[in-house]
Amino acid sequence: MSVTSLWTYGDRNSIDEAIQFEVLNDWLEDVLKEFNGLDIATFKTEYTWDETSEILRKAEEERESSKLKFIEGVER
């Protein structure tokens, strides 16, 4: 079970308060097909925090299939 780690805004949409999270690669590949058509490797080099904020929102809605995990003890 491979995962991808991403960063996005913290609770205040501030770069000073960042959230790092992991999701399953298979789940992320499906989301990216719908979202922008990029593969994971390309997305990881080009993404913005606005994009990962949307991915985090979707991962929270689909917590069971995304296997969302927050890094460094951050829990929402």
**What are the pLDDT digits (tens) for 38-70?**
999 999 999 999 999 999 999 999 999 999 999
Helices within the chain (DSSP H only): 25-35, 40-46, 49-61, 63-66
- pTM, two decimals, is 0.85
Burial 12-24 (b: 16+ CB within 10 A, else e): eeeeeeebebbbb
pLDDT at 1 over 90: no
Question: Residue range 30-43: average pLDDT?
Answer: 95
| Average pLDDT along the chain | 89
For the chain, the structural domain boundaries read 3-70
What is residue 51's predicted lDDT score, i.e. its pLDDT?
96
